[in-house]
A and B are shown apart, each in its own frame.
Chain A
């Protein structure tokens, strides 16, 4: 996933907000995605945002999209221990393929 970049690690205190950042390269991506991978499990689609939107909110999750800067972020409010996981950002440079970032490992500490 060299076309999609994200930091590798994030440590956050329980109850605080987490912000995971991602930059992508393909401005033609129609959708951008956030996936969550819990230990020993596959990737689970967490949320996605259509490219003509700036923001999408879903309960504790807020996705912000800055198309000009090709920057995507995921904010998790009131982070819980169950939010500890690897979070992957992905873009869709074509209608048949997703390109993933390397994943951000989020560790929630008490």
Chain B
């Protein structure tokens, strides 16, 4: 099984709909992140969490919300999806006390029509 699992892998949704992307990890890491990837822009940080009670906005949090349901679970919600939220979304985990990079999930490709 993958260390970081994202569901769904692909999703097409309509403008105005609420959608949730889910992430779970078996790494035992305390830090979890949500990034979006757009061609030519690289990865941009949406939200991050250091533990269940700690949620922080990243550089592009508008239009998104998150929930850290447990140490191993971190979900991203689009309250009212719009077409410019069409992107590839990645969840990642990191271990406090080390900075040897993150472990990424395989991504969720979201299309808003």
**A contact set with B: CB distance below 8 Å:** 1, 4, 8, 30-31, 33, 35, 40-45, 48, 88, 90, 92, 95-98, 100-103
Contacts and interface: CB of A to CB of B under 8 A. Distances in A.
Interface string B79-113: 00000000000101010000111111111000000
Given A41-B106, A43-B90, A96-B31, A102 B99 contact: no
Contacts of B40: 8, 102
B99 A45 contact: no
A100 B4 CA distance: 20
B73 interface: no
Contacts of A103: 42
A101 B42 contact: yes
Interface residues of B, number: 23
A43 B104 contact: yes
B101 A45 contact: yes
A31 B102 CA distance: 12
Contacts of A48: 100-101
Interface of B: 4, 31, 35, 40-45, 48, 50, 90, 92, 94, 99-107
A100 B92 CA distance: 13
A33 B92 CA distance: 15
A102 B41 contact: yes
Contacts of A8: 40
A-B interface, 7 closest residue pairs, ranked by CB to CB distance from nearest? A42-B104, A1-B42, A102-B42, A45-B101, A100-B43, A43-B104, A100-B42
Greatest chain B CB density within 10 A among A35, A41, A97, A101 is at A97
Contact of B104 (A1, A44, A95): A44
Contact of A1 (B44, B50, B101): B44
A20 to B, nearest CB: 14
Given A41-B106, A96-B50, A35 B42 contact: no
Given A42-B106, A42-B107, A103-B42, A30 B99 contact: yes
A31 B101 CA distance: 9
A30 B101 CA distance: 11
